[in-house]
Structure 1
Amino acid sequence: MADFSKVEKALKERGYTVKVFATGAEAAAYLDGEIDGATVGIGGCATAQELGLYELLEKHNTVIWHWKQEGADVRKKAMTTDFYITSANALAESGEIVNIDGVGNRLAGTLFGHRKVYFIIGRNKLTADYESAVHRARNVASPRRAQQLGAKTPCAEKADRCYDCRAAGRICRGMTTLWGPMMGSEAEVILIDEEHGL
């Protein structure tokens, strides 16, 4: 059992609502009950896929996710939804949420335009401090994702660290650190005592 007490306290002090669940299934059931009759955008998020959130939520919401729908404008439509669901590449015990992105929609979705943003985060994303969160995002999560996508980058080929390359297929082109919910938007962090995502 992970000890989320320190990060939960830090997140609440920063202005987040926090919920802790033992399993991903419990977290998914919670979100299914919380979001109803609304528009929902989902960022590139392996955790959401593992929890089957699209299939659950689409039964009684309008869900927009470029992993499930085709079209050049799907990512843009997800930017205008009531709610946005994503994860994090890393979460520091001190409360900073770190994400890296290639296209930018996932970062943008956490910054502006939604009534509420949900971050669903497995225990494997938790790090001791901000510096180790940045390190995890750059040197663990990003190379794994690049390898998963078959990117032609040094990190994907070696799967060991970020090389700060200039490859055309580079998928890490921007990074955000959230020190708290953005003004005018609610944000909730859902912590899961299981490993989910990269």
Structure 2
Amino acid sequence: MEVKNWHTEAIGKQVVNSLIKNEFDARYYSTTAEAASFIMEHVKPGIKVGFGGSMTINGMGIQDKVQLAGATVLDHGIPDITIEERIAIAKEEMLSDLYLCSSNAITLDGLLVNIDGMGNRVSAMTFGPKKVIVVVSVDKVCKDEEAAFERLEGIAAPMNNKRLSTPNPCTQTGICMNCKAKTRICRVYSVLRKKPWVTDMTVVIVGESAGY
């Protein structure tokens, strides 16, 4: 376990150094609990906190903490709402005071690689909110950009399709089939090579496994 922890931290800190070279604010935490504490330092009573549909963030229980802190939760992923309501909330998230999300993959040289259906997450991550915090677990770290897209096709996309119970082929094969289905959720691809000019963004690398 000691050697595994050393390796995880070594990879995490290498990615943090690469992100800093790419002009991102970046830091490494061993646990999601430490990352959650960092996030809560930015949550003040009355602010609006947007959630980008991240299983990493959801697994940290941040929504409840935000509400207890007296801030407003904007989460288009809440159940039992119409598609119109979901889109309206997603638009509000894009102008939130604090936007929380993850990345589908991140490379050793500090590129954030993502895939979206509506494009709301990659839009808000890039421009709009006053502050963006991206939490990424070390198990999403890929050698390079090519490997990152392989991760999107082989892990992130199929698992998100399964979570959403789509009828798309990858829910049967476990890997992207580049389907032509109307229900395809892999529609918007994004690579952040440098921090967007006017976006206050922090990327948090976490040593624990989280999300997919």
When normalised by structure 1's length, the TM-score is 0.94
Paired position in structure 1 for 2:51: 42
1:55 corresponds in structure 2 to: 64
Equivalents in 2 of 1:147, 1:14: separation in Å? Answer: 34
- In 1, the alpha carbon distance for the partners of 2:22 and 2:96 equals 24
Match of 2:160 among 145, 152, 168: 145
Q: Which runs of 5+ in 1 are unaligned?
A: none
Q: Does the CA-based 8 Å contact 1:47-1:196 persist in structure 2?
A: yes
* Residues 50-89 of structure 1 aligned to structure 2 (within 5 Å): 50-59=59-68, 60-68=70-78, 70=81, 71-72=85-86, 73-89=88-104
Question: What secondary structure, in the 3-state scheme, does the structure 1 residue paired with 2:177 have?
Answer: coil
Letter in 2 for 1:65: D
**What are the residue-to-residue correspondences of 1:112-127 with 2, within 5 Å?**
112-127=127-142
Residue pairs, 1:93-172, within 5 angstroms: 93-159=108-174, 161-172=175-186
% identity of equivalent residues: 29
Task: Identify if the C-alpha distance between structure 1 residues 180 and 58 changes in structure 2 by more than 3 Å, giving closer, same or farther.
Answer: farther
Checking the alignment, whether the CA contact within 8 Å between 1:143 and 1:156 is kept in structure 2 is yes
Structure with the larger helix share: 2
Match of 2:16 among 8, 27, 50: 8
- Bigger mean CA deviation after superposition, 176-185 or 86-95: 176-185
* Contact persistence 1:100–1:138 (CA under 8 A): no
Contact 2:75 2:90 in 1 (8 A): yes
2 CA distance for matches of 1:158 and 1:174? 22
1:111-165 superposed Cα distances (whole Å, 9 cap, x missing partner) = 2111221110111111111111111112210011111211111111111x21111
Amino acid at match of 1:15: E
The gaps in structure 2 that reach 5 residues or longer are none
Can you list the C-alpha shifts for 1:146-191, whole angstroms capped at 9, x where unaligned? 11211111111111x2111101111111110001221111110111
Number of equivalent positions: 197
- The alpha-carbon deviation at position 62 of structure 1 amounts to 1.5
TM-score normalised by the chain length of structure 2:
0.88
Cross-structure match for 1:183: 197
Say whether the 8 Å CA contact 2:95–2:130 is kept in structure 1. no
Rounded Cα–Cα distance in structure 2 between residues aligned with 1:5 and 1:22: 10
